[in-house]
């Protein structure tokens, strides 16, 4: 099982520039910088890639399209991979809304998955729609010894961090502290008994210890 799952945050969107809680699809488009980030990701990913998949959001579709063009691969849209739905906080960028989002998200990462965003999703609902998609990709491709390529999944920062922590078992403090910049990725390798091993998280490599990580950057981009 040499193929790996690469969960990539989309490139910079206009929602990111405005620091908005932009979660409801289709959402904002990529900026020119975001498109350039997507191309650079593809150029820097040295491992063979067999599939490029994206969520239903416009920014994920556009990121995947740039990656697919560079890698000369078609792209595929799958349901369930979109961002955490923040409900009543949608499109807000005021400090109060960002603080409320961060507070609920922290509770999810610490194990309290039942609490919902106001008018939006609870943590278990995010996992219930997202994890089956990854399980299906694993069963169809990565668990096949003949499959040797990576699967690139273009998705969203908050969702990726929740899912990657759940699958790999990294510490909740690590997942909370280590936001993903645009086109940063988490690489997961399938291991025995349906488990996953995290090979890198953004620029961090194992072992994944909590530390104080870029608080100013995290505050500037709440969805990272």
Chain-wide mean pLDDT for the chain? 94
Q: Which domains does the chain have, with CATH numbers?
A: 5-84+132-212 (3.40.50.1240)
pTM for the predicted model, two decimal places: 0.94
The tokens for 95 are 């400090």
What average pLDDT does range 203-223 have in this prediction? 68
Reply yes or no on whether the pLDDT at 214 is more than 50. Answer: no
Reply yes or no on whether the pLDDT at 58 is more than 80. Answer: yes
Give the pLDDT score at 220: 62
What average pLDDT does range 91-99 have in this prediction? 96
pLDDT digits (tens, 9 = 90+) for 23-41: 999 999 999 999 999 999 9
Give the pLDDT score at 224: 87
49-54 β-sheet, strand order: 75-77, 49-54, 150-155, 5-9, 185-190, 196-201
Question: 214 or 5: which carries more pLDDT confidence?
Answer: 5
Instruction: State the helix-helix crossing angle for 157-168 and 95-109, rounded to 10 degrees.
Output: 10
In the structure, what pLDDT confidence band is assigned to residue 217 with cuts at 50, 70 and 90? very low
In the structure, what pLDDT confidence band is assigned to residue 213 with cuts at 50, 70 and 90? very low
Query: Whats the size of the chain, residue-wise?
Result: 224
Q: Which residues does residue 189 pair with via DSSP β-bridges, in sequence order?
A: 197
Helical H runs in the chain?
14-17, 32-44, 58-71, 95-109, 123-137, 157-168, 172-177, 215-220
Q: Which of 107-121, 126-140, 154-168, 192-206 has the lowest mean pLDDT?
A: 192-206
Rounded distance between C-alpha atoms, residue 102 and residue 176, angstroms: 9
Give the pLDDT score at 218: 46
């Amino acid at each position: 099982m040499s193929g790996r799952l690469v969960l990539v945050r989309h490139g910079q969107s206009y929602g990111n520039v405005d620091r908005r809680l932009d979660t409801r699809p289709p959402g904002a488009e990529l900026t020119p910088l975001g498109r350039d980030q997507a191309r650079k990701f593809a150029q820097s990913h040295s491992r063979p890639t067999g599939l490029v998949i994206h969520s239903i959001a416009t920014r994920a579709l556009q990121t995947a399209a740039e990656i697919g063009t560079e890698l000369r691969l078609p792209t595929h849209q799958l349901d369930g991979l979109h961002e955490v739905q923040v409900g009543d906080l949608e499109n807000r960028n005021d400090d109060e809304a960002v603080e409320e989002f961060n507070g609920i998200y922290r509770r999810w990462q610490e194990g309290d998955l039942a609490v919902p965003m106001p008018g939006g999703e609870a943590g278990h609902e995010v996992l219930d729609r997202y994890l089956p998609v990854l399980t299906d990709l694993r069963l169809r491709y990565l668990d096949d010894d003949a499959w040797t390529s990576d699967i690139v999944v273009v998705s969203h920062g908050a969702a990726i961090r929740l899912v990657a922590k759940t699958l790999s078992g990294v510490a909740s403090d690590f997942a909370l502290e280590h936001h993903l910049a645009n086109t940063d990725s988490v690489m997961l390798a399938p291991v025995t008994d349906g488990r996953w091993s995290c090979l890198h998280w953004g620029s961090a490599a194992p072992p994944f210890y909590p530390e104080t990580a870029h608080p100013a950057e995290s505050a500037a981009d709440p969805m990272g």
